[in-house]
Structure 1
Amino acid sequence: MKKLTFFISIIFSTILFSSCEAPWQPLFNSEDLDGWETFIGTPLTGFEHLYEEATPENVFKVVDVEGEKLIHITGEVNGSLATVDTFANYHLELVFKWGDQVYTKRNSGLLYHSFGEFGEALGSWMTNIECQLMHENLGDTYLMNNTCCETEVNQTENGYVFTKGGELTQFGKDFNGPGIKKAVDAENQLGEWNTVELYSYGRTTVHLVNGQVTMINTNTGVNENGQIRPLSSGKIQIQSEGGDLFIKSVRVKPIKEIPAEILQ
Structure 2
Amino acid sequence: MYPRQLLVVLLLVLLATFSVPAVGSAQQWRPLLDKDLSNFEVWMGIPHSSVTGLPEGTYQSENTTKGTPMGLNADVKNVFSVSEIDGEPVLQISGEIYGGLTTLEEFQDFHFSTQFRWGDKKWPPRIDRLRDNGILYHCTGKHGTFWKVWKSCIEYQVQETDLGDLFALGGTSAAVRIRGRKYDPLSDVYLEKGNAISCAEPDAPHGEWNHLEIYAIGTTSVHVANGVVLMVLEDLKLRGKPLSHGQIQIQSEAAECEYKDMKIRSIEDFPPEIKAQMRLRDTETP
TM-score category, normalised to shorter length: 0.7 to 0.9
Is the 8 Å Cα contact of residues 97 and 246 (structure 1) preserved in structure 2?
yes
**Counterparts in 2 of 1:51 and 1:201: CA distance versus 1, 3 Å:** farther
Distance 1:85 1:150, change over 3 A: same
Q: Which residue of 1 is the match for residue 200 of structure 2?
A: 184
Which runs of no fewer than 5 residues in structure 1 stay unpaired? 1-15, 173-177
Shift of 1:63: 2.0
CA shift, 1:49, in A, is: 2.7
Q: For residue 43 of structure 1, what is the aligned residue in structure 2?
A: 47
CA distance in 1, matches of 2:53, 2:230: 34
Is this contact kept in 1: 2:178–2:191, CA < 8 A?
A: no
* Corresponding residue for residue 153 of structure 1: 178
Counterpart position of 2:190:
169
- Residue segments in structure 2 that go unaligned for 5+ positions in a row: 1-19, 56-69, 278-286
- AA aligned to 1:233 is H
Conserved? CA contact 1:87–1:235, under 8 Å? yes
The match for 1:206 among 222, 232, 248 is 222
Residue-pair matches, total: 231
Match of 1:86 in 2: 106
- Identical-pair percentage: 31
**Aligned counterparts of 1:84 and 1:212: Cα–Cα separation in 2:** 29
Q: Which amino acid is the alignment partner of residue 33 of structure 2?
A: F
1:100-179 equivalence runs, <5 A: 100-103=120-123, 104=126, 105-155=130-180, 160-172=181-193, 178-179=194-195
CA root-mean-square deviation: 1.9
Residue 56 of structure 1 aligns with which residue? 75
Residue identity opposite 1:194 in structure 2: N
Matched, 1:219 2:238: no
The residue type paired with residue 210 of structure 1 is N
Q: TM-score, normalised by structure 1?
A: 0.82
**Of 215, 228, 246, which aligns to 2:258?**
246
When normalised by structure 2's length, the TM-score is 0.76
Instruction: Tell me if structure 2 keeps the 8 A contact 1:51–1:77.
Output: no
For residues 87-138 of structure 1, the C-alpha deviation after alignment (integer angstroms, 9 at most, x for no partner) is: 0000000111111111224111000000111111111111110000111111
Offset of residue 165 of structure 1: 1.7
Contact kept? 1:43, 1:50, Cα under 8 Å: no
Distance 1:42 1:257 in 2: 40
Determine helix, strand or coil for the equivalent of 2:159.
coil
Matched AA of 2:219: R
Q: Which is richer in strand?
A: 1
Looking at structure 1, the residues matched to 244 and 166 of structure 2 have their Cα atoms a distance apart, in angstroms, of: 16
Q: Does 1:99 pair with 2:111?
A: no
> Structure 2 vs 1, CA of residues 218 and 56 (structure 1 numbering), >3 Å: closer, same or farther?
same
Q: Determine if the alignment matches structure 1 residue 231 to structure 2 residue 235.
A: no
The amino acid of 1:259's aligned partner reads: P
2:132 is paired with a residue whose SS is coil
Structure 1 residues 28 and 66, CA gap change in structure 2 (3 angstroms) = closer
Distance 2:211 2:217 in 1: 20
Q: 1:51 to 1:255 in 2, by over 3 A?
A: farther
Q: Distance in 2 between matches of 1:68 and 1:210?
A: 21
Match of residue 259 from structure 1: 271
Instruction: Kindly state the Cα deviation for residue 220 of structure 1 after the two structures are TM-superposed.
Output: 0.3
- 1:65 offset after TM fit, Å? 4.1
